[in-house]
């Protein structure tokens, strides 16, 4: 007998098979069916016949259902709310795994965000100038030697020649860095970042004027432009315009303008003086206009619209040769935007670090996402029933995928919230680590949209695989629990675990190598004793009092000796050519040089390997030279001692001794030929202290200074610290890579905790059975531990060769480098194994100790 209600129930079910519907939809369709059924009945049809016709009129379920999901696909807000609700419910129910997921992801995101903040800052240097794509730094390429050297300082007349003869150039400026003691009223400061610049400087670079017109301010020989900070330092809140600053007690400058210089520029000067006013400091106008040989001025230019830098390089290729016939020099235009991260010759020195750190950021985020994927697929078995049920009541696959993705995106946004807290907390120490003052501002749209994008991507990436796997379950099989073995995705899970640990181990090895290299170059014998050397820069009138100061210091018990020189060993940079007796005309050697007094070798404790040191008893030594071993080797003369040498087209003098090679530059560069000459201006005063507490010596040094130079600001430094600064980049890199590799290990282990607890849960019964059959605790623990340690070991085997290859390539950047030793790898391996073992041991112990009855009784 036909039963209308039963038929309608069946009919509704057929609809659900093809789609899920919002509330009320099926009820509405049902009233329609009933209305039509009623009409047909009234027309005289039988029950069964009327129902069939009415159902036909409503339409085939699959067609109507498809029409509905078309409109549902437009993502109703209701549906999203429901997804979020379900996801929250899930998170609450599984507190442990949710915590691991969120914490791991948050740490990963925070680490990634911190690195990206740093990267963004590095990439932002000097990008704020208007039309920055037309700004260039000029580099002098000296092609005389076997390999060209790239020099940032140019002869002075280059700028004028370029501005005059090349219409495609809009403006050119020179800069010349200097240091002065600056005095205003009773305030005096030693200023190390003073620049002599051409008026075009402020037309080329966009440092906004705060007071006055900076470009106009520099057209007058006695005017000065200050940065905001400097103006504040001297004048407080007062209007600085027209105030007069005295430099080195010799020349006055009147403040004509104030500019704002942002933090992210490499053109960080505090005071700008007109370049022409160098004439007030003893540099002749003739030298400024026509000295084509001295390389002293950093030069920048702005091209006109459409100007082609390569064409300009070709056009100017003969410019320097025309004035310096003996030399082979040309100009290179380096984009200003490359100035911060690329060396003058275009090697991506800083860029390499940016790339490496970005890569590390991506890897850490990947490790964190993998945790999520692994835990989600591992839990797949336990979710199978839920998925089966959802499918049975009409969920379509696309809806399930959306649901699971919504869950993982929600998790990643919860992680994002935590990550923001972590970022703010870690920013100060990260700032110290990178020696940068980075700021993170939630009102900064770029930072926020970046973070949201990272969260969204992490959520989608982490959820995609679980979504595809889980949604593919066949409902019938899933409900009976048959098809979903715990092995679902097991292979992938292991591969991902392997990846996580390989990356972590790789980073650990990298850290060990970098730190060992830093220690190596810092502790390597450099050819002189850099400890206990104090120095001061001699300014202005003091310059003439070097001898006085020396005598004053030498008489004091805290000091072992003193010397004056023109540069500290870390600052010997410039190279010049030399001529000597018996020189083969084909032999061209570029020498570094330093001007020093007769006590230099003694004070620095360098070693004379042949000949003798300068001697006060021989006034003729004033004209003599010392050279280093490298110079002796390169000159190609049988015995350099007694050979006469001429340097920088100056006087001829005898080589009286050979100094043992010492490192005066970073270990990245081999020792180059060096000449020591007593003739010339000496600006640094260096004194050797007795070992021990430097405090009394510094006070004594200050007293001596005060007696010789009353009224001049006393500033001092230590030579060994200057050497440390040479390795600042390496030290930083070591610290950054080190911290982040530890984070990577931490996040990997977090994932391991989750997987271990899951595996143990899966094997509860197996363990019970084994115990009943007589297995001991240690056997159980070993069985469980080996399941994971196997993979960590394998990860070591993968990571080691990769690390060895990458790190030996990195070490090739150094002329003096540490060797890769077995312990660097072994240490990383041991750390990974110990940490992994400690992580999973909690779970293994718990289950090894558990009473088998409890686990077997659950049936």
Partner 1 sequence: MISRSLMAASTKPILLSILLEGEDYGYNIIQKVKELSGGALEWADGMIYPVFQRLEKDGLVASRWIASPEGRFRKYYRITAQGHAELSEEMAQWRAVVAAMGKLWRPLPTLD
Residues within the interface to partner 1 (CB under 8 A): 22, 24-25, 27-29, 31-32, 34-36, 57-60, 63-64, 67-68, 70-71, 74, 76
Tokens of 341: 């991260």
- Least gap, CB of 836 to partner 1 (angstroms): 52
Q: State the DSSP H helix or E strand holding residue 628, giving kind and residue range, or none if neither.
A: strand 625-628
CA dist 124 and 665 (Å) reads 28
What is residue 168's three-state secondary structure?
A: coil
- Least gap, CB of 6 to partner 1 (angstroms): 19
CA dist 812 and 810 (Å) reads 5
CA dist 273 and 495 (Å) reads 63
Q: What are phi and psi of 5, to 5 degrees?
A: -60, -40
- Least gap, CB of 68 to partner 1 (angstroms): 5
Dihedral sign for Cα atoms in the order 722, 357, 352, 510: positive
CA dist 654 and 85 (Å) reads 89
* Cβ-based nearer residue to partner 1, 10 or 35: 35
* Cβ-based nearer residue to partner 1, 35 or 444: 35
Q: Are 736 and 438 in contact (CB under 8 A)?
A: no
- Least gap, CB of 466 to partner 1 (angstroms): 30
Dihedral sign for Cα atoms in the order 278, 280, 284, 286: positive
- Least gap, CB of 854 to partner 1 (angstroms): 53
Q: Are 107 and 294 in contact (CB under 8 A)?
A: no
Q: Are 818 and 811 in contact (CB under 8 A)?
A: yes
- Least gap, CB of 237 to partner 1 (angstroms): 58
- Ramachandran area for residue 118 (φ above 0: left; ψ -120 to 50: alpha; else beta): alpha
Q: Tell me which residue has tokens 């260039």.
A: 136
- Least gap, CB of 801 to partner 1 (angstroms): 58
- Least gap, CB of 396 to partner 1 (angstroms): 15
CA dist 740 and 112 (Å) reads 9
* Cβ-based nearer residue to partner 1, 63 or 286: 63
Q: Are 349 and 669 in contact (CB under 8 A)?
A: no
The pairing of beta strand 684-689 with beta strand 329-335: unpaired
* Cβ-based nearer residue to partner 1, 14 or 239: 14
CA dist 125 and 119 (Å) reads 10
> Helices 822-849 and 490-523 sit at what angle, rounded to 10 degrees?
140
- Least gap, CB of 49 to partner 1 (angstroms): 17
* Cβ-based nearer residue to partner 1, 13 or 89: 13
* Cβ-based nearer residue to partner 1, 62 or 531: 62
CA dist 99 and 415 (Å) reads 9
Contacts for 359 with CB less than 8 Å, ≥ 6 apart: none
* Cβ-based nearer residue to partner 1, 68 or 537: 68
CB atoms within 10 A of CB 255: 25
* Cβ-based nearer residue to partner 1, 74 or 93: 74
* Cβ-based nearer residue to partner 1, 38 or 185: 38
Contacts for 8 with CB less than 8 Å, ≥ 6 apart: 30, 33, 34
- Least gap, CB of 13 to partner 1 (angstroms): 16
* Cβ-based nearer residue to partner 1, 75 or 586: 75
What single-letter DSSP state applies at residue 130? T
- Least gap, CB of 52 to partner 1 (angstroms): 14
CA dist 32 and 50 (Å) reads 13
Strand (E) positions, 684-801?
A: 684-689, 717-718
Task: Please list the alpha-helical segments (H only) found in 555-625.
Answer: 600-604
* Cβ-based nearer residue to partner 1, 71 or 778: 71
Beta bridge partners of 578: 647
- Least gap, CB of 96 to partner 1 (angstroms): 40
* Cβ-based nearer residue to partner 1, 34 or 644: 34
* Cβ-based nearer residue to partner 1, 19 or 245: 19
- Least gap, CB of 35 to partner 1 (angstroms): 4
């Amino acid at each position: 007998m036909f039963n209308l209600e039963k038929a309608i129930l069946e009919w509704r079910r057929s609809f659900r098979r093809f789609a899920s519907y919002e509330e009320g939809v099926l009820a509405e369709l049902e009233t329609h069916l009933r209305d039509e059924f009623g009409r047909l009945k009234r027309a005289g049809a039988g029950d069964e016949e009327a129902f069939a016709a009415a159902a036909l009129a409503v339409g085939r379920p699959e067609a109507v259902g498809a029409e509905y999901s078309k409109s549902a696909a437009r993502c109703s807000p209701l549906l999203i709310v429901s997804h979020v609700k379900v996801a929250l419910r899930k998170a609450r129910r599984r507190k442990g795994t949710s915590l691991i997921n969120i914490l791991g992801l948050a740490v990963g995101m925070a680490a990634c965000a911190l690195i990206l903040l740093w990267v963004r800052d590095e990439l932002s240097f000097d990008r704020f100038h208007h039309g920055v794509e037309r700004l260039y730094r000029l580099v002098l390429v000296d092609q005389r030697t076997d390999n060209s050297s790239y020099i940032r300082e140019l002869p002075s007349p280059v700028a004028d020649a370029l501005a005059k003869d090349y219409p495609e150039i809009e403006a050119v400026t020179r800069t010349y860095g200097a240091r002065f003691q600056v005095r205003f009223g009773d305030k005096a400061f030693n200023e190390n970042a003073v620049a002599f610049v051409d008026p075009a400087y402020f037309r080329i670079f966009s440092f906004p004027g705060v007071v006055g017109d900076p470009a106009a301010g520099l057209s007058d020989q006695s005017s000065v432009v200050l940065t905001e900070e400097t103006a504040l330092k001297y004048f407080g809140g007062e209007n600085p315009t027209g105030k007069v600053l005295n430099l080195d007690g010799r020349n006055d400058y009147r403040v004509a303008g104030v500019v704002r210089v942002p933090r992210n520029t490499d053109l960080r000067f505090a005071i700008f003086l007109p370049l022409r006013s160098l004439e007030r400091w003893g540099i002749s106008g003739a030298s400024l206009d026509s000295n084509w040989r001295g390389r002293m001025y950093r030069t920048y230019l702005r091209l006109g619209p459409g100007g082609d830098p390569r064409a300009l390089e070709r056009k100017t290729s003969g410019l320097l040769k025309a004035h310096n016939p003996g030399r082979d020099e040309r100009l290179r235009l380096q984009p200003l935007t490359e100035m911060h991260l690329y060396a003058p010759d275009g090697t991506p020195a800083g860029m390499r670090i940016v790339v490496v750190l970005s890569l590390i950021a991506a890897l850490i985020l990947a490790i964190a996402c993998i945790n999520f994927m692994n835990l989600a697929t591992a839990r797949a078995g336990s979710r199978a029933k839920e998925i089966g049920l959802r499918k049975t009541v009409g969920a379509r696959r696309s809806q399930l995928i959306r649901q699971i993705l919504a869950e993982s995106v929600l998790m990643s946004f919860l992680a994002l919230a935590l990550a923001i807290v972590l970022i703010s907390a870690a920013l100060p120490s990260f700032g110290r680590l990178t020696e940068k003052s980075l700021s993170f501002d939630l009102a900064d749209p770029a930072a926020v949209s970046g973070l949201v994008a990272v969260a969204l991507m992490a959520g989608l990436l982490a959820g995609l695989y679980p979504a595809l796997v889980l949604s593919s379950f066949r409902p019938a099989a899933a409900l009976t629990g048959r098809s979903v073995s715990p092995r679902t995705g097991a292979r992938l899970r292991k591969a991902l675990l392997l990846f996580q640990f390989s990356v972590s181990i790789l980073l650990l090895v990298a850290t060990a190598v970098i730190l060992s290299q830093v220690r190596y170059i810092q502790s390597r014998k450099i050819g002189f004793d850099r400890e206990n050397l104090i120095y001061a820069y001699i300014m202005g009138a003091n310059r003439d009092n070097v001898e006085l100061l020396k005598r004053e210091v030498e008489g004091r018990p805290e000091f072992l000796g003193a010397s004056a020189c023109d540069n500290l060993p870390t600052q010997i940079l410039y190279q010049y050519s030399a001529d000597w007796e018996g020189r083969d005309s084909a032999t061209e050697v570029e020498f570094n040089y330093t001007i020093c007094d007769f006590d230099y070798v003694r004070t620095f404790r360098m070693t004379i390997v042949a000949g003798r040191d300068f001697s006060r008893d021989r006034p003729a030594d004033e004209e003599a030279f010392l050279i280093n071993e490298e110079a002796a080797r390169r000159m190609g003369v049988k015995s350099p001692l007694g050979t006469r040498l001429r340097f920088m087209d100056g006087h001829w003098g005898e080589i009286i001794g050979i100094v043992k090679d010492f490192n005066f530059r970073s270990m990245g560069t081999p020792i180059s030929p060096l000449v020591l000459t007593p003739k010339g201006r000496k600006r640094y005063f260096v004194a050797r202290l007795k070992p021990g507490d430097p405090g009394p010596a510094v006070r004594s040094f200050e007293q001596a200074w005060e007696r010789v130079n009353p009224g001049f600001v006393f500033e001092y430094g230590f030579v060994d610290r200057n050497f440390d600064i040479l390795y600042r980049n390496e030290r930083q890199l070591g610290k950054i890579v080190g911290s982040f590799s530890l984070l990577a290990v931490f996040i990997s282990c977090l994932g391991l905790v989750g997987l271990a607890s899951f595996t143990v849960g899966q094997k509860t019964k197996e363990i019970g059975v084994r115990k009943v059959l007589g297995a001991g605790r240690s056997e159980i623990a070993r069985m469980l531990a080996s399941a994971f340690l196997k993979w960590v070991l394998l990860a070591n085997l993968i990571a080691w060769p990769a690390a060895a290859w990458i790190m030996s390539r990195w070490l090739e950047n150094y002329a003096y480098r540490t060797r890769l030793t077995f312990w660097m790898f072994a240490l990383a391996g041991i750390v990974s194994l110990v940490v992994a073992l400690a992580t999973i041991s909690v779970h293994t112990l718990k289950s090894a100790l558990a009473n088998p009855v409890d686990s077997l009784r659950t049936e």
